[in-house]
Amino acid sequence: MAVPKRKKSRANTHSRRSMWKTTATALTTCANKACGAPVRPHTACANCGHYAGRQVLEV
């Protein structure tokens, strides 16, 4: 099993992990004109139950 000879410096560790940050999920408005609530893309609206212009959930 391979074992590192030297401890990785803190700078190298931080530079390697610098791209690990997360991004906030994008929100769109509900397709239902009467609702207009912010929803995640490709998800049924929790407020009115519409998805892709039709009613899919009973709310």
What does the alpha-carbon distance between residue 13 and residue 19 come to, in Å, rounded to a whole number? 11
The pLDDT confidence band at residue 22, using thresholds 50, 70 and 90, is confident
What does the pLDDT read at residue 55? 92
What does the pLDDT read at residue 27? 95
Threshold 0.85, pTM exceeds: no
In contact, 45 and 37? CB cutoff 8 Å: yes
The yes-or-no verdict on residue 50 having pLDDT over 90 is yes
Per DSSP, the residues of 3-59 read --SSPPPHHHHHHHGGG----PPP-EE-SSTTT--EE-TTS--TTT-EETTEE-S--
What's the mean per-residue pLDDT of the chain? 91
What does the alpha-carbon distance between residue 43 and residue 31 come to, in Å, rounded to a whole number? 11
